[in-house]
């Protein structure tokens, strides 16, 4: 737990993180059991996020629940794999060809059923391959329509599982269609009972102030789940919490409390050259420090400063919150 | 005219453009008459965009229409001044204090009435001061509510004039609330008969692909007016069309034709160190070249390439379109 | 003083900061005496940075020293004005025309003599107008030669005063020639006894890690003076210290101690919507907090962590340093 | 050939390009023979760039020359592999530990000898893993010293082969030490007979104007080799030439002619979702179009416009050059 919130991590945190140069990865566990064993050593960890086909599939669906529960871990999220295979390279739910779009829908529905079977309340639809790289490569109006139709076809498929959509500005495409908090709200408008997964690093890299994104999503009843990580804004570096954006994280925690967010705080970090267990531990300690920091000043005092819109007072409060 | 579209410019194009260092500006006309005289020499120019209080006010409201029509120019847009005076420094329609918010509404309404009197169909509400500079300086939920309430209070004020909202990522605040095409659509959702002014440079600097923004806005029936300029993406440099983003402009023109945009093409450039007349002329020639370029390949052939989502084919078409 | 360093500020901090929209500024003192009176109220302030022609000129050169010393303030820097008048719009030391280049040299030399007369050891040559906005607008090889020749013509002019060059990526030009720590070192290579003014915000906006810039400059014996401020990396926002880059500032302070920097810590902030005295005070308190934070962990322990190049250990130290 | 320049490509262009999500790649040839067969079909291609250990190794060193010459292709560059294996994850020539630094030197020297044996005049030292991800993770002064010592230990190793250093702002580290044209010149200062490989995309992503980088490097006698590709400036997207920066490429070609560059024009593109042969062909056609475009206006006329530093004239010339 982190300040009363369930604390999760993506399973590959404990595997070997690769980039496009070092395709075999920089080191880490290589089997699912070994990754789970490492995850189980992270103090306070409550659950893991698993990816369809990688970690859950037709062969292991009966075992995977036990593999986690034996280690005292929940499955906090299942992610349909719409992005690790060449077949999704030109898109999934909004691919230019109808068969791929249908395959995307089928994939999401299948993973929804797995989630229901495993008692996991969410699937994370991240349409990372749905976008374009070059000008004159996408029909923006058609693609948007396809994306909405595809989501609509998934949302009601299994009432036990809520579809969450995760937005990102770019990567693996140079431009992704679903690229901001505002755009995901437009996307979901009128589509039914679905929500949003806010990845803090995606928000930062999209040029958003993440606290503002939290407020906007919560104000629309769509803030369901958080991915935590950090970056330098120009790319989704998936660094440890506490690496760069301390003030933004402090404000984020203030707003999470303000809007009454009670959901998961799940790490989505790529500790390429770091030990996954130690990296996860540092992230948890940073998050606890941010919650303590907000507590140190108090919600009311922050609210009063915000109401006065006074930057000098705000920065003094930040310094006090950090105990500097 | 530019390829059948009315061609406009912001009047200050012909004045002395200043930045925060050289506050007296780098040179250009200093009186309104002199600026109008210069504007009148720009071949093909059909209209001018005027700013409330700067160019139109209670004293000259009876004269200003004649000042333009005498030179064969229309007033294509009136812009309420919500950003050039210290009183708006902390916001206008979404300012933290109620009297400023009301003053913002009053200002927009006043300029709407002037617009109606002058036969100008639009006002451009650019809430550039509505935002924040520092973390813990804004109540995002309240501010959003205020912005919507303020716009609602303006939109129905004068049925002869349509309120257009112009979005921008940053400047003069480090963060503006209304900062993307998707967010302005969220903002206007349910507010009634209002539209969007798309500033191409704002779109580029917000990390958007501008053709996609055009498609999104038009798909929602909200693409009413365009500001043309260019920049290097990290700032609103207000450079001449043709400076940087040739491929993006070509795709923009394709999509303007595709969605049937028939409105104004108005320059919003700051020719700091250039002659305003020559700069405007270059912009017009670039725009005509882009329309010719789309014509050279043809709408159908572009559409077919887009349908195939083939980047190598797309780039070959771009080269052919440019006649290289 | 800040942790043993003399503490300075740019005089316009206490005036009315303007941007290109609100040219009359957002409020603040308007006379030099009023600005000095405000500056004198900033606790711990040791000196002020003045701009040639704005604050020091042939008329007041006899008085200006007394105006400061009466208030217990030193002149820590004189800045030749090479950027506030239209005549410098196309460049100063590297302008495309020879007379402007000579005028630039003359201006720097004049201000060097004023500095000597006032007992100020430095002038800050910031060639902000020397650059280009558009492609095909500059002869990069000639301009570089002119810049070096111009500096050479200044450096030896008055041995009592050291010429410092300040680099910046962009603004007021979209591209400035002298735009990084490495490039200013190349520029000064072989030119004689000159140094570098490192503006933290310029370094951040140039994509540098500022601690690395400090190390590089100090390693070349060229780290003479610091400007402190903060921004969001995409623009020179001139915000208060502590606004954004806490980790980077902490590392900066570590490296300042590591390389034995003993010079001025001078604010170059634009408190557009804030009170200059309160803003300066917050900056000083943040700086003192950063020095305390480095002390809390200790130089040796930081050095040991750096030697191990271990990011998880580094981030734990940062959190401990901040006392979170 | 491209306008009289030898035309090269990196061999992996014809393989299966992977990213960190789709590790098995999006499709393409998988054996070296198959990649070479594809390369041989690219009209006008003169040579290929090979990576040590991947494409050249102790087993195939006797065969590889013939594999290329049989297909009429030269080896234009050999690249020591300092970045595809976990052992380089924390650096190569500037790694924090001495054994890895020595291994880096040994690797470069070995590949230099291979290059000499194969008649390839260059090796490309790209120290992409030499940098840092987090603050407090690098000793900038030591690392710089190590990098210089390592290069010095390589440069004189084999006089038949010239060491070229390739700079890049970020990736695979969030910060690379050798990150700009100016910094690589500082790095090489005094180190002897070595040069620079300018990757156009790296230059763009580092915030440089690439034509200015060309001028700076050539002015120092260090412009030896070019990598061609394009991107959106925030990341090294390795897109096809002609994708984004048409004006910058035109100016680049002008400056290549101006400084008398006669070396290789080698593609370094990652056609993730495109066919490598078609993508390479498009790049060559774009480059030929840029050379034709410069010719259309003529070197003298461009030079005259540059001398006048007149942006409106410059943009008119660009439009004329493009034949629009």
Other residues' Cβ atoms within 10 Å of the Cβ of residue D24: 12
Q: Is C25 in CB contact (< 8 Å) with chain B?
A: yes
Nearest CA to D274 out of D30, D15, D33 is that of D15
Give the residue among A206, A204, A152 at the shortest CA–CA distance from A179.
Answer: A206
Q: What angle do CA A137, A140, A141 make, to 5 degrees?
A: 140
- The share of chain A scoring above pLDDT 90, in percent, equals 98
Instruction: Using alpha carbons, select from D180, D181, D165, D182 the residue that is nearest to residue D104.
Output: D165
Chain B residues touching residue C21 (CB < 8 angstroms): 83-84, 128, 172
From the list A81, A89, A184, A185, the residue with the least C-alpha distance to A123 is A81
Residue A10 in contact with residue D77, Cβ under 8 Å?
Answer: no
Please name the residues in contact with D62: beta carbons below 8 A apart, sequence gap of 6 or more. none
* Touching chains, B (3+ CB pairs < 8 A): A, C, D
Q: Does residue A138 belong to the interface with chain B, where contact is any CB pair within 8 Å?
A: yes
Do residues D279 and D271 touch, judged by C-beta distance below 8 A? yes
C-beta separation of C223 from C195 below 8 A: yes
* Interface test mutation site (partner C, options D97, D136, D235, max chain C beta carbons within 10 A): D136
Q: Report d(CA D203, CA D207) in Å as an integer.
A: 7
Q: What is the pLDDT of residue D259?
A: 98
Task: Please report whether residue D152 resides in a domain.
Answer: yes
Inter-chain contact B86–C171, Cβ cutoff 8 Å? no
Question: Which two three-digit tokens encode residue B43?
Answer: 């071949």
**What are the Cα distances from residue B62, in Å, to B56, B58, B65?**
9, 8, 7
Q: How far is D192 from chain B (nearest CA, A)?
A: 37
Whether residue B134 lies inside any domain: the answer is yes
User: CA-to-CA distance for C186 and C179, rounded, in angstroms?
Assistant: 11
Going by pLDDT thresholds of 50, 70 and 90, the confidence category of residue C29 is: confident
Q: Scan for tokens 């970056």, then name that residue.
A: A231
Length of chain A: 324
Give residue D34's pLDDT.
97
Residues in chain D closer than 8 A to B275 (CB atoms): 312
List the structure tokens of B278: 């020559």
Contact between residue A39 and residue A73 where contact means Cβ atoms under 8 Å apart: yes
According to the model, what pLDDT value does residue B238 have? Answer: 98
Determine the residue of chain A that is closest to D173 in CA distance: A237
| D275 alpha-carbon distance from chain centroid | 21
Nearest chain D residue to C94, by CA: D309
pLDDT of B96 over the 90 cut: yes
Q: DSSP states of D260-314 as a string?
A: T--S-EEE----TTS-HHHHHHHHHHHHHHHHHHHHHH-HHHHHHHHHHT-HHHH
- Tell me how far apart the alpha carbons of residues D251 and C324 are, in angstroms, rounded to a whole number: 51
Q: Do C137 and D186 touch (CB under 8 A)?
A: no
In a domain, D2, yes or no: no
Which chain C residues are closer than 8 Å to B235 by Cβ? Answer: 170-171, 174, 234-235
Nearest to A123 by CA among A102, A151, A85, A101: A151
Catalogue the long-range contacts made by A296-300 (C-beta closer than 8 Å, 24 or more residues apart): A296/A320, A296/A321, A296/A323, A297/A321, A299/A254, A299/A257, A299/A258
Q: Do B170 and C83 touch (CB under 8 A)?
A: no
Question: Can you tell me the distance from the alpha carbon of A16 to that of C59, in angstroms, rounded to the nearest whole number?
Answer: 70
Q: What is the nearest CA distance from D24 to chain B, expressed in angstroms?
A: 21
Residue B86 pLDDT greater than 90, yes or no:
yes
- Residue D269: phi and psi, rounded to 5, are -110, 155
Q: Which residue of D has its CA nearest to A87?
A: D26
Pick from C201, C277, C283: which is nearest to C27 by CA? C277
Q: What is the DSSP string of A262-315?
A: -S-EEE----TTS-HHHHHHHHHHHHHHHHHHHHHH-HHHHHHHHHHT-HHHHH
pLDDT band at B60 (very low <50, low <70, confident <90, very high): very high
Q: Which residue of D274, D310, D322 is in closest CB contact with B322?
A: D322
A126 touches chain B (CB under 8 A): no
pLDDT band at C30 (very low <50, low <70, confident <90, very high): confident
The rounded distance, in Å, linking the Cα atoms of C263 and C254 is: 15
> How many contacts, defined by CB atoms under 8 Å, are there between A and D?
100
How far from each other are the two terminal CA atoms of chain C, in whole angstroms? 26
Instruction: Tell me whether residue A205 is in a domain.
Output: yes
Partner C contacted by B272 (CB < 8 A) = yes
- Cβ–Cβ below 8 Å for B239 and C83: no
User: What SS3 string covers B255-300?
Assistant: HHHHCCCCCCEEECCCCCCCCHHHHHHHHHHHHHHHHHHHHHHCHH
Q: Is the backbone of residue D311 left (phi > 0), alpha (psi -120 to 50) or beta?
A: alpha
Is residue C172 within 8 angstroms of chain B, CB to CB? yes
Predicted confidence (pLDDT) per residue in A229-273, tens digit = 999 999 999 999 999 999 999 999 999 999 999 999 999 999 999
**Which residue range(s) make up the domain with B196?**
7-321
| Cα–Cα distance, D112 to D117 (Å, whole number) | 9
B153 shares contact with chain A (CB less than 8 Å): no
Longest dimension (CA), chain D: 59
Angle subtended by helix axes B210-219 and B181-188, to nearest 10: 20
Could B285 and D233 be called an inter-chain contact, meaning their C-beta atoms sit closer than 8 Å? no
Helix residue ranges per DSSP H, B156-208: 181-188, 200-205
Task: Look at residue A147 in the predicted model and tell me its pLDDT.
Answer: 98
Token digits for C116?
A: 């000597």
| Residue-by-residue DSSP string for D30-67 | -SHHHHHHHHHTSTT--EEEEEBTTTB-TTTHHHHHHH
First and final C-alpha spacing in chain A: 26
- Give the chain A residue whose CA is nearest to the CA of B249: A135
Q: Identify whether B2 is part of a domain.
A: no
Number of domains in chain D: 1
Pairing of strands B175-176, B131-132: antiparallel
Q: How far apart are CA D21 and CA C324, in angstroms?
A: 35
Mark which residues 94-113 of C lie under 8 Å from D by CB: 96
Do the chains contact at B314 and A175, CB–CB below 8 Å? no
Q: Is A323 on the interface with C (CB under 8 A)?
A: yes
Q: How confident is the model at residue A30 (pLDDT cuts 50, 70, 90)?
A: confident
Tell me the three state secondary structure of residue B74: strand
C282 touches A at CB < 8 Å: yes
Nearest by CB to residue D86, choosing from A26, A86, A89, is A26
Contact C324 A240 (CB under 8 A): no
Contact A185 B180 (CB under 8 A): no
The three-point CA angle C257-C261-C265 to 5° equals: 100
Beta-sheet strands, E only, within chain D: 7-10, 47-51, 74-79, 122-125, 131-132, 162-166, 175-176, 194-199, 223-228, 265-267
Tell me whether residue C89 is exposed, middle or buried, using C-beta atoms within 10 angstroms of its C-beta: 0 to 12, 13 to 18, 19 or more.
buried
Cα–Cα nearest to A139, from A108, A95, A101? A95
Residue C15: inside a domain, yes or no?
Answer: yes
**Mutual orientation of helices A98-118 and A61-69 as an angle, nearest 10°?**
50
Q: Which residue of C has its CA nearest to B23?
A: C23
Most distant CA pair in chain C, distance: 59
Is the CB of C136 less than 8 angstroms away from the CB of D219? no
Contact D247 C141 (CB under 8 A): no
| Other Cβ atoms closer than 10 A to D260 | 8
Range with lowest mean pLDDT among A51-65, A281-295, B176-190, C305-319: A51-65
Residue found under tokens 């006379």: C31
Written as tens digits, the pLDDT of chain D (324 aa) is 999 999 999 999 999 999 999 999 999 888 999 999 999 999 999 999 999 999 999 999 999 999 999 999 999 999 999 999 999 999 999 999 999 999 999 999 999 999 999 999 999 999 999 999 999 999 999 999 999 999 999 999 999 999 999 999 999 999 999 999 999 999 999 999 999 999 999 999 999 999 999 999 999 999 999 999 999 999 999 999 999 999 999 999 999 999 999 999 999 999 999 999 999 999 999 999 999 999 999 999 999 999 999 999 999 999 999 998
Alpha helices in chain A (DSSP H): 32-40, 61-69, 98-118, 140-155, 181-188, 200-205, 210-219, 246-258, 276-297, 299-308, 311-321
Mean pLDDT of A42-60: 95
> Does residue C14 form part of some domain?
yes
Residues in chain C: 324
**Which of the residues C140, C214, C245, C250 would you substitute to probe the D interface, choosing the one with the greatest number of D C-beta atoms within 10 Å?**
C140
Backbone angles phi, psi at D69, to 5 degrees: -65, -30
Q: Which chain C residues contact residue D315 at CB under 8 A?
A: 134
User: B28 falls in which pLDDT band (50, 70, 90)?
Assistant: confident
Tokens of B207: 């990390």
Contact by Cβ (8 Å): C123, C115: yes
Measured CA to CA, the distance from residue B25 to residue B272 in angstroms comes to 7
CB distance C247–A244 less than 8 Å? yes
So what's the pLDDT on residue C71? 98
- Beta-carbon pairs below 8 A across chains C and D: 125
pLDDT at C217 over 90: yes
pLDDT of the residue at A55 = 95
How far is Cα C7 from Cα B323, in angstroms, rounded to an integer?
Answer: 60
CA distance C166 to C126: 5
Nearest to D18 among A23, A27, A174 (CB): A23
Taking an 8 Å cut-off on Cβ atoms, the answer to whether D138 and C309 are in contact is yes
Determine the pLDDT at residue A263.
Answer: 98
D267 backbone dihedrals φ, ψ, rounded to 5° = -75, 135
Q: What is the pLDDT of residue D265?
A: 98
Q: How far is A187 from chain C (nearest CA, A)?
A: 29
- The ipTM assigned to this model is 0.97
Does residue B274 belong to the interface with chain D, where contact is any CB pair within 8 Å?
A: yes
Q: Is residue C186 part of a domain?
A: yes
Distances from the Cα of B17 to the Cα of B14, B20, B21, B240, angstroms:
8, 10, 11, 14
pLDDT at B315 over 90: yes
Interchain proximity B209–A311, CB inside 8 Å:
no
Q: What is the CATH number of the domain that holds D169?
A: 3.20.20.150
- Whether residues C84 and B22 touch (CB distance < 8 A) is answered with yes
Contacts of A308 in chain B (CB under 8 A): 96
Residue C163 phi/psi, 5-degree rounding, is -80, 125
Contact present, D35 and D15 (Cβ < 8 Å): yes
Count of A-C CB contacts under 8 Å: 74
Separation CA B305–CA B322 (nearest Å): 16
Q: Dmax over Cα atoms in chain A, in whole Å?
A: 59
Tell me if C20 and B22 make a contact (CB, 8 A cut-off).
no
Residue A19 contacts D where some CB pair is shorter than 8 Å: yes
């Amino acid at each position: 737990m982190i300040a009363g919130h369930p604390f999760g991590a993506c399973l590959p945190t404990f595997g070997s993180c690769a980039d496009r140069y070092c395709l075999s990865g920089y080191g880490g566990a290589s089997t699912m059991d070994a990754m789970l064993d490492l995850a189980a050593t992270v103090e306070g960890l409550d659950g893991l996020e698993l990816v369809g086909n990688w970690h859950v599939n037709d062969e292991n669906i009966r075992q995977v629940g036990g593999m986690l529960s034996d280690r005292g871990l929940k499955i906090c999220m299942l992610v349909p794999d719409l992005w690790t295979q060449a077949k999704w390279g030109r898109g999934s739910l909004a691919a230019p060809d109808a068969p791929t779009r249908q395959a995307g829908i089928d994939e999401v529905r299948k993973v929804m059923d797995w989630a229901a079977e495993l008692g996991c309340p969410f699937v994370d639809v991240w349409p990372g391959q749905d976008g374009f790289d070059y000008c004159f490569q996408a029909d923006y109006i058609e693609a948007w329509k396809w994306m909405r139709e595809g989501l609509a076809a998934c949302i009601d498929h299994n009432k036990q599982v809520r579809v969450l959509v995760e937005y990102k500005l770019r990567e693996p495409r140079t431009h992704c269609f679903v690229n901001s908090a505002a755009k995901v709200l437009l996307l979901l408008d009128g589509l039914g009972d679905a929500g949003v997964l806010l990845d803090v690093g995606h928000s930062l890299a999209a040029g958003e102030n993440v606290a503002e994104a939290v407020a906007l999503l919560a104000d629309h009843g769509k803030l369901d789940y958080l991915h935590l990580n950090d970056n330098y804004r120009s790319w989704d570096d998936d660094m440890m919490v506490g690496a760069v954006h301390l003030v933004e994280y402090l404000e984020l925690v203030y707003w999470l409390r303000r809007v009454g967010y009670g959901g998961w705080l799940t790490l989505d970090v790529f500790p390429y050259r770091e030990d996954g267990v130690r990296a996860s531990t540092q992230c948890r300690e940073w998050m606890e420090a941010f919650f303590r920091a907000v507590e140190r000043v108090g919600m009311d005092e922050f609210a009063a400063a915000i109401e006065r819109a006074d930057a000098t007072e705000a920065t003094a409060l930040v310094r006090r919150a950090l105990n500097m």
